[in-house]
Amino acid sequence: MTGTAAAVPITIIGGFLGAGKTTLLNRIVTAQATRRLAVIVNDFGAIDIDGELIARRGEDVLALRNGCICCSLQGDLLGTLRRLLARDPPPEGIFVECSGVSRLDDMRRALLDPVIWAHVSFEGIVCVTDAEALAEAGPVTRDPLFREQVHAADLIVLSHADRLEAEAVDRAEHALHAIRPGVAIARDGARLLAHPALRAAAALAPRVRGLRASAGEMAADQEFASLAWRSDAPIDVTSFRTVLERHAPGLLRAKGILYAASAPDRGMLLQMVGMRATVGPAPERALADRSTRIVFIGRRGTFDPASLLRDLAALPAPLRTTRILK
């Protein structure tokens, strides 16, 4: 890092579990394919699922996993940023995708590191929210962490708005304004980097210097539990679905690649948010490792990783090898 180098813009992308952060990030990096961008992806679990799904792979995508960058992995984040800024040439932009359990105001505090602050321009915090869940007035709207993330954002992007009628999108926006009146909301994430709210956040970036460290709050790592599960043999999807349905009430999120016995040459992408689960084709880049790898996340006290692991280990043949990562 040199004193004469131009400040590198850094944007934080956060949002609750399953909101669509990785999808939005893929849209951004694909639209800016000619720019020299770096992406830091934080997976709460021990398997880097989100990193596998980023369209731009290689040395420009860096993973921080098995923890949360707003607390236990904060030192790893700062070290990664320093290494990125020391590159010659440095990136033209840095995006940090937080895990769904991150406290976004703590991310502001993390960037107060004087070495980092001297070389970056803070563009703001983008919080991705699920328009469908908001329109349904689902339990997420009452979740303390979700509400905290909304309050920390400089700009909120409504994901999945294209699936809804205009009235439902209006309900989603109303739900957000009920939590935080006047917050800037974008329905089209593709244009978010030009949004006035982010330009204003960049102009007001020094305000983060006045933030005080919070005391006595439960860290995200203490509030949530995760299980990272990998199987080296194809699994029976019907049996797996039964296990998933049994444990769904305790799960907030499940995400990963399914290597199914019925389609051994074609991986499937599992996405589960609350009680909603979808399975679709996995991106080609995720198929090099022919194994099932899934991260399950829930709140401590309602999610029992040990019980889930026992049920996964008891899945019938052709399952042969199971590994748990901690």
* CATH fit for domain 8-210, picks 3.30.70.3340, 3.40.50.2300, 3.40.50.300, 3.30.420.40: 3.40.50.300
Q: Are 49 and 61 in contact (CB under 8 A)?
A: no
- Please report which confidence band the pLDDT of residue 227 belongs to, taking 50, 70 and 90 as the band edges: confident
Q: What is the pLDDT, as a whole number, of residue 88?
A: 87
Tokens 């439960």 locate to: 218
| Domains 8-210 and 220-325 alike in fold | no
Q: What is the mean pLDDT of residues 74-98?
A: 84
φ and ψ at 310, to 5 degrees?
-60, -45
- Taking residue 31's Cβ as centre, other Cβ atoms within 10 Å add up to 12
Between residues 266 and 252, which one has the greater pLDDT? Answer: 252
Question: Residue 324 region, left (φ>0) first, then alpha (ψ -120 to 50), else beta?
Answer: beta
- Write the DSSP symbol of residue 190: G
Closest Cα to residue 286, out of 79, 90, 36, 52?
52
Q: Are 68 and 21 in contact (CB under 8 A)?
A: no
Instruction: Measure the CA–CA gap between 128 and 20, rounded to whole angstroms.
Output: 7
Which range has highest mean pLDDT (134-138, 139-143, 157-161, 208-212)?
157-161
Q: Is the CA virtual torsion 214, 215, 218, 220 positive or negative?
A: positive
**Range with the poorest average pLDDT among 70-79, 175-184, 262-271:** 70-79
CATH fold for the domain made of 220-325: Hypothetical Protein Yjia; Chain: A;domain 2 (3.30.1220)
Q: Are 277 and 271 in contact (CB under 8 A)?
A: yes
| Token pair for 146 | 């979700």
Domain ranges in the chain are 8-210, 220-325
Give the model confidence (pLDDT) of 177-221 as tens digits: 999 998 888 886 655 656 655 555 444 444 333 333 333 333 445
Burial of 153 by CB count in 10 Å (0-12 exposed, 13-18 middle, 19+ buried)? Answer: buried
